[in-house]
Amino acid sequence: MPGVLRQGHLSVWVALAVLILFGVLRYDNFASAYNLSSFLGYNSMFVVISVGMCLVIMTGGIDLSVGTVAALASVVAAMLSPQGLIVALPGGVAAGLLAGALNAGMIAGLRLPPFMATLATMLAAKGAALSLSDNRTVPVDWASDFTALGMNKVANLLPWTILVALVVVVFAWVVVQRTSLGRTVLAIGGNAEAAHLMGLKTRRAEVFVYLFSGACAGLAGVFLASGYGAGQPLEGAGWELAAIAAVVVGGTLLTGGMGSVPATVAGALLFGLVFNLLNFENGRGTFSLSADWQSVIRGLFLLIVILLQARLGRPALKS
């Protein structure tokens, strides 16, 4: 399987395996159905946005707007929830696609730098979410089937959201590995000008990645509204950086041109797992780390991964 266990990505799988093993051996309820399903349910949002971010970063771009776009989509989905999941889910994703189209227009059309274009969309989406929701959380309609997506589980174990997320992951992976679109995505990140001169449809690929990332953020917003019963205009702060961190931990270079969708998923799960293990450790009562420590540890973790990557014979990133 090319790409899954390639050398650069091996470390994230090893780290994931070690942490899982550690959890299983140390904590009684770690491998319980309850922990597994709540872990997967919560992290399906981050898996989805990280995969969208991964494709964007493969082109050498970045999408800072995913957090506020997810918040916007959660508001839209909650407002549409009386019409049921069949309307609210596409509605939320459509809100994400709209933001993605705005990014794509600015980046592929007007040739604005992705960092600034998506920063503008980040602010605009936050403004839109706040004005749509009147600056309040928007309760969902509990009578409809909308909350089934975020709260029901298959066989009492796998949340629907993680299954939907899995579909997105497989889609992204197939696109990257098996289609000319995916090769173009990687070619742009490798050398945009060369890719363009070779006759690759680089604009089309750029439009695709930003639309996809927007749709992923929209989907994450739907998960949020459905799983927590409310559209939350102020949620999603810092999600873009969590997604970027997951992509980086998964071994994808921010300069683009390479990367792995499965390793990104592993990166996202790894971050979730660190929190999960910390909660268990606190639960044992031998020592207690306040919630404030979690971000310190998350940063340390990112530092260690980056130092390892810098040491593991990667060519220096000097332009």
Partner 1 sequence: MTRLDPRLAGLLVALAALLVLNVAITPNFLNMQTLAVNASQVATIAIVAVGMTLVIASGGIDLSVGSVMAVAGALAPMIFLSGWAVANPGLGLVASIVLPLLAAAACGLFNGVLIAHLGVQPIIATLIFFISGRGIAQVLTNGQLQTFTNPDFTWLGTGRILGLPVQGWIALAVTVVIALVVRRTIYGRYLLSVGGNERASVLAGAPVARVKIATYVIAATLAGLAGLIVVAQNSASDAARIGQLMELDAIAAAVVGGAALSGGRAPILGTLLGAIFIQLMGYTLIANGISDEMTLIVTAAIIAVAVWLQRGRRV
Nearer to partner 1, 102 or 149 (CB): 102
Cα-atom radius of gyration of the chain, to the nearest Å?
19
- The H-assigned helical ranges of the chain are 7-26, 33-58, 66-80, 85-104, 114-133, 148-151, 160-178, 180-197, 202-228, 239-249, 261-284, 291-311
Q: Does 312 bind partner 1 (CB under 8 A)?
A: no
Q: Does 310 bind partner 1 (CB under 8 A)?
A: yes
Q: How many residues bind partner 1 (CB under 8 A)?
A: 47
Minimum distance of partner 1 from residue 202's CB (angstroms): 17
Q: Which two tokens stand for residue 116?
A: 């600034």
Helix (H, G, I), strand (E, B) or coil at 126: helix
Longest Cα–Cα distance in the chain: 62
Q: Does 319 bind partner 1 (CB under 8 A)?
A: yes
Single-letter amino acid, residue 109: G
Rounded CA-CA distance 4/223 in Å is 27
Rounded CA-CA distance 77/67 in Å is 15
In this structure, the number of other CB atoms found within 10 A of the CB of residue 123 comes to 12
Minimum distance of partner 1 from residue 172's CB (angstroms): 22
Minimum distance of partner 1 from residue 288's CB (angstroms): 12
Q: Does 245 bind partner 1 (CB under 8 A)?
A: yes
Q: Does 136 bind partner 1 (CB under 8 A)?
A: no
Question: Residues 282, 291: contact at Cβ < 8 Å?
Answer: no
Nearer to partner 1, 197 or 291 (CB): 291
Q: Does 296 bind partner 1 (CB under 8 A)?
A: yes
Stretch that binds partner 1, among 129-137, 183-191, 198-206, 280-288 (CB under 8 A): 129-137
Binding residues for partner 1, per CB under 8 A?
62, 106, 110-113, 115-117, 119-124, 126-128, 130-131, 135, 241, 244-245, 248, 254-255, 290-300, 302-303, 306-307, 310, 316-319
